Amino acid sequence: MGKTSDLTAVQKTIIDTLHKEGKTQKVIAKEAGCSQSSVSKHINRQAKGRKKCGRKKCTSSRDNRTLQRIVTTNPFKNVGEIHKEWTAAGVSASRTTTRRLMKDMGFRCRIPCVKPLLNKKQRKKRLAWAKDKKDWTDAEWSKVMFSDESKFCISFGNQGPRVWRKSGEAQNPRCMRSSVKFPPSVMVWGAMSSAGVGPLCFLRSRVNAAVYQEVLEHFMLPAADQLYGDADFTFQQDLAPAHSAKTTSTWFKDHGIPVLDWPANSPDINPIENLWGIVKRRMQYARPNNAEELKTTIRATWALITPEQCHRLIESMPRRITAVIEAKGAPTKY
């Protein structure tokens, strides 16, 4: 008495023949020399032309292809706009059906990634830079101190958290988020290496060459002592006007600090950008009421960054370089 998968071609032929003659499954099993359950499974597997249960679909395959083309062509439109365009093409379907079919097609509503807009010249320079650094080892990248500025706001807009609430609790203070027309914000300078992070600097004014050199003097140098001690290191910075000013270049020469050449408009290569992202994600449920509370939250969150996290980000540099080369200088996923 074999299983369905063990039936021989002869047994399957006997089952099919006797079934067409109207014999019962018990008789067929006896004649074929197998179990009755094997006969039943084989007959059901061979059954064709059975009517499908449930309501008939209101859209055809052609309608679905039209929807997929609309979504692919206009990925930033909302469901209402996509539904309107789809029905304008002659399709009769509800908005709920539109959303369901989009989900069945694999589309999900997500916050879009932001990538720098690069011109042809910038892509060419990025590619040349990546090829020049492709053979750098983890040990060489660990000697680089990465730096950057980032803006933090009390309100993070649509990227903030959602709230679980019951009917009638919409105006409950517990379920509401504070919103102001011009939310307080702070600009922060920070630095990192494979050994960890340095002290933060909260910038009070617009950063020009003089202000930036003060940041270097009072925050970058202490960070270098903290992260490298007496060991040599290379400093990384982007090509902001204050960073590339002649007086700033003179400052680095006077202090004997080498500066890593860096391609323009390339935040995707800088691992500290990922570190800012980690800090902001950890802060998404914080509710500071003013700029001072925001600074306190930033400091506390920054202090939780571990050397292991920084080391992993620095270790990603060879992969970032490879990604730039494969993209021929275009922006990468990092």
Contact call for residues 254 and 175 (beta carbons, < 8 A) = no
Q: What is the pLDDT of residues 261-274, one digit of tens each?
A: 999 999 999 999 99
pLDDT value for 318? 96
Q: What is the pLDDT of residues 3-14, one digit of tens each?
A: 555 788 888 889
Residue 315: count other Cβ atoms within 10 Å of its Cβ. 14
Q: How far is CA 21 from CA 14, 30, 135, 196, in A?
A: 11, 15, 75, 80
Contact call for residues 27 and 9 (beta carbons, < 8 A) = no
What is the token pair recorded at 169?
Answer: 């609790």
**Can you tell me the mean pLDDT for 207-232?**
96
Tell whether pTM > 0.85: no
pLDDT value for 50? 55
pLDDT value for 65? 93
Angle (nearest 5°) at CA 27 between 22 and 33: 125
Q: What is the pLDDT of residues 102-118, one digit of tens each?
A: 889 888 887 676 667 78
The secondary structure of 298-320 as a DSSP string is HHHHHHT--HHHHHHHHHTHHHH
Of residues 315 and 74, which shows the higher confidence score? 315
Of residues 180 and 314, which shows the higher confidence score? 314
Strand pairing category for 144-153 and 234-235: parallel
Distance, in Å, from the CA atom of 276 to the CA atom of 302, rounded to the nearest integer, reads 9
Highest average pLDDT, of 34-48, 88-102, 300-314, comes from 300-314
**Can you tell me the mean pLDDT for 224-250?**
96
Residue the block writes with tokens 């929807």: 67
Q: How far is CA 304 from CA 61, 122, 158, 297, 298, in A?
A: 52, 36, 25, 11, 10
**Can you tell me the mean pLDDT for 38-43?**
87
